Chain A
Amino acid sequence: MVGASRFELELNPPKGLVLPLHYAPFIPILVELTLLVNFLVWYTNIIMIGKKILEQLNIIKQCRKYSLSVWQCPQFLFLIMGIIIIVSSLLTYAIGNRYIEDPLLVALIVIAVSIVLLIIAATITRSFETLAETNRMKSEFVSIVSHQLRSPLSNLKWVIELLMSGKVCPVAEKQTEYFRMLKENSKRMDELVSDLLTVSRIEQGRLPLQKEKTSFKDLVEKIIKETEILAKASNVEVEFNPADNLPDIIFDPSQLKLSVANLLENAIRYAKAKGNVKIGLKKKNSKLYFEIKDSGVGIPEKDQKYIFQRFFRSENAKKRQTEGSGLGLYIAKSIIEKSGGKIGFNSKENKGSTFWFTLPIK
């Protein structure tokens, strides 16, 4: 034992700090140990962030909680940073070992580097997690509030209907008009709440798509029929020119209906007096191509890049229509994109807009 140490001493005479001789062979192990401790610290940090280690380690589950993709998830970020810390510690060790002769100094440098990296990683991850959590809570809040609003709203709707039906007491002609206003406004509130619920579902990644074989043509015809009253009231003519022999698509009919209805209602609402709306549907490169062309007010160029954002409403839209939440296009885009399609538009102020989307044929 003593002989061996003396032999090493002759080969590598220590400079600077003199360590007791028999420590020398253990120094690499010591460095490895610090790496291990480093790894453990990284692990305990996970415990600090979330109380349940297992839950924290289940990255996929965590990502689903925030409805983020794996790459954007704070937990994944932390895992990657952990790996970076270990790799860079090893690198520092390797490089230090080569250029610095004092093993203890190498160990100290390795420890210092890994501690600094760990602090940076923890700080970044923590702030990312706070952001993700805030976003999740906001969506949850919207969802809860909308659900709570739902029951009083449907109560209100039914009470108004009951009053209007004249079953409670005869209704005077003047009252009817006000009842109609009440009904319209409660309907508007109801639609807004429905939109908010859909948005919060999209954000929480809980928008269910019930896929079934759907005839897109029939669906569009049905929607046109349902918006007939609105079109007549706005003095707008709606034309539908589908191509022949269109294939059926596999899709969630209610969600698709929501997207198309949103686009069509926009086209009608923002049409100018005596306007017309042309709807086209055809097959294009193994995709179904749908477009709605209106002769409406158009979207000002400066607003065009924001048009699919939540709650965004263009200035000229606000002037023309006080109704509208600025959620319709956002919802349409989310639904179409989630189904593997694309959505877009061309628009010129005062000339009109064309909104289109494609859907894959499977």
Chain B
Amino acid sequence: MVHLANKINIMKTILFVEDEFTLQKTLGEVLTKEGYQVISALDGEIGLRMAKEKKPDLILLDLILPKMNGFEVLKKIKEDEAIKDIPIIVLTNLEGMEDIQKALELGAATYLVKANYSLEEVLEKIKKTINE
């Protein structure tokens, strides 16, 4: 069973929409090591386009992004029939209650504030969400 789960992991793709290069590299590397295929997008517009083209199994989304902010990306993904069922984890530094509520109302699966989670914990959440 474990072997099979690992095999499925290899095929699973994660779209990582994040403008901070450091995070792209660190979290991207950890996820690749875990056997996921990681697609990087450095701004909201590319993120949305990638989501439509590649139809990933999970989207990691920052909220403060150039060109199109995370809320808009989230809204547009949820409006698109073809990709609206992809689970989205919001990974951001915004920790205002309004922001959290807004993102969850728009359909985010989980909301993680970067400062409050360690790399391991984030990884756990991603695994849990992608296997659901």
Chain A interface residues (CB < 8 Å from chain B)? 147, 150-151, 153-155, 157-159, 161-162, 165, 167-168, 190, 194, 208, 210
Contacts and interface: CB of A to CB of B under 8 A. Distances in A.
B22 A190 contact: no
B22 A155 contact: yes
Contacts of A165: 119-120
A158 B23 contact: yes
B30 interface: yes
Given A162-B30, A168-B29, A154 B119 contact: no
Nearest to B64: A151
A158 to B, nearest CB: 5
A241 B21 CA distance: 50
Contacts of B22: 155, 158-159
A154 B93 contact: yes
B115 A190 contact: yes
Contact of A150 (B23, B26, B115): B115
Contacts of B115: 150, 153-154, 157, 190, 194
Contact of A167 (B30, B97, B118): B30
Interface in B66-100: 93, 96-97
B93 A158 contact: no
Contacts of B114: 150-151, 154, 158
Max chain B C-beta neighbours (<10 A), residue from A147, A154, A194? A154
Interface of B: 20, 22-23, 26-27, 29-30, 33, 93, 96-97, 114-115, 118-120
Contacts of A162: 26, 29-30, 119
B121 to A, nearest CB: 10
Nearest to A153: B115
B10 to A, nearest CB: 17
Contacts of B26: 155, 158-159, 162
Given A158-B27, A162-B29, A150 B93 contact: yes
Sorted nearest first, the 7 A-B pairs with minimum C-beta distance are A154-B114, A155-B22, A161-B119, A150-B93, A154-B115, A158-B119, A208-B97
Contacts of A151: 20, 93, 114
B93 A161 contact: no
Contacts of B97: 208, 210
Given A161-B119, A162-B119, A167-B29, 7 more contacts: A147-B93, A150-B115, A157-B118, A162-B29, A162-B30, A194-B115, A208-B97
Nearest to A154: B114
A161 B30 CA distance: 11
A253 to B, nearest CB: 13
Contacts of A158: 22-23, 26-27, 114, 118-119
Contacts of A190: 115
A154 B114 CA distance: 6
Contacts of B119: 158, 161-162, 165
With a 10 A CB-CB cut-off, give which of A155, A165, A194 has the most chain B CB atoms. Answer: A155
Contact of B118 (A161, A194, A208): A161
A61 B41 CA distance: 41
Contacts of B30: 162, 167
A112 B103 CA distance: 60
B89 to A, nearest CB: 15
Contacts of B20: 151, 155
B99 to A, nearest CB: 11
Contact of B33 (A161, A167, A208): A167
A171 to B, nearest CB: 15
B20 to A, nearest CB: 6
19 contacts: A147-B93, A150-B114, A151-B20, A151-B93, A154-B93, A154-B114, A157-B115, A158-B22, A158-B119, A161-B118, A161-B119, A161-B120, A162-B26, A162-B29, A162-B119, A165-B120, A190-B115, A194-B115, A210-B97
Contacts of A150: 93, 114-115
A294 to B, nearest CB: 28
B69 to A, nearest CB: 15
Interface centre among A158, A168, A194 (most CB of B within 10 A): A158
Nearest to B34: A167
A155 B23 CA distance: 6
A63 to B, nearest CB: 21
Contacts of A210: 97
Contacts of A154: 93, 114-115
